[in-house]
Amino acid sequence: MVADSCTSIIRTDRPGAAGRFIEWTHRQQEAGRHLCFGIVPPGQDTAVGVIQVRREASDCSTAEWGFVLSERFWGTGLFMASAELVLSFLFDPVGIHRLEALTIVGNARASGALKKLGAVQEGLLRRGFGRNGDYFDQILWSILAEDRHPATSTLTPATLH
């Protein structure tokens, strides 16, 4: 399924990292806490990105999402088309009311994509993300169901698996 196609874009410089991620994803999905969508370009069968969604509220009204896309596909519209499909799914059949995202301050590409999707910057989390002993400020973004205005995309819906 989707998680199996995530292997091709997960960092593999650490032995077993991709396999552990896929196993974790399956456990989280089975528990109803997590969804993982592979981003697959039209005409291809290998994921070049992932959109993950994690339930925040027990009633599923609030969720957090994150995404990664191979640099080769930046600027192609593939992410926007895939994100629109995920947003439509989350807000309509699933019934999410509020979707949150966090970006590192200075990640203009991710912030720009979120703005295009209708996200609103809500705040700054000082030193909110840590890696290898370094801490980075994060921006909190949200998209509310009542504010949802789908972006325009030229890609086909077959881009998300």
How many folded domains does the chain comprise? 1
Looking at residue 10, its pLDDT comes to 43
Task: Decide: helix, strand or coil at residue 32.
Answer: coil
Six-digit token string for 37: 């969508």
Residue pLDDT, tens place only, 26-37: 787 777 778 888
- The Cα 24–Cα 57 span in angstroms is 20
CATH number at residue 34: 3.40.630.30
Q: How many CB atoms lie within 10 A of CB 117?
A: 21
Domain assignment of residue 104, given as a range? 2-159
Is this model's pTM higher than 0.85 or not? no
CB crowding 73-108: b at 16 or more within 10 Å, else e? eeeeebbbbbbbbbbeebbeeeebebbbbbbeeeee
Residue pLDDT, tens place only, 81-100: 999 999 999 998 888 999 99
Stretches in the chain below the pLDDT threshold 70:
1-18, 57, 149-161
Phi, psi (deg, nearest 5) at residue 134 = -100, 145
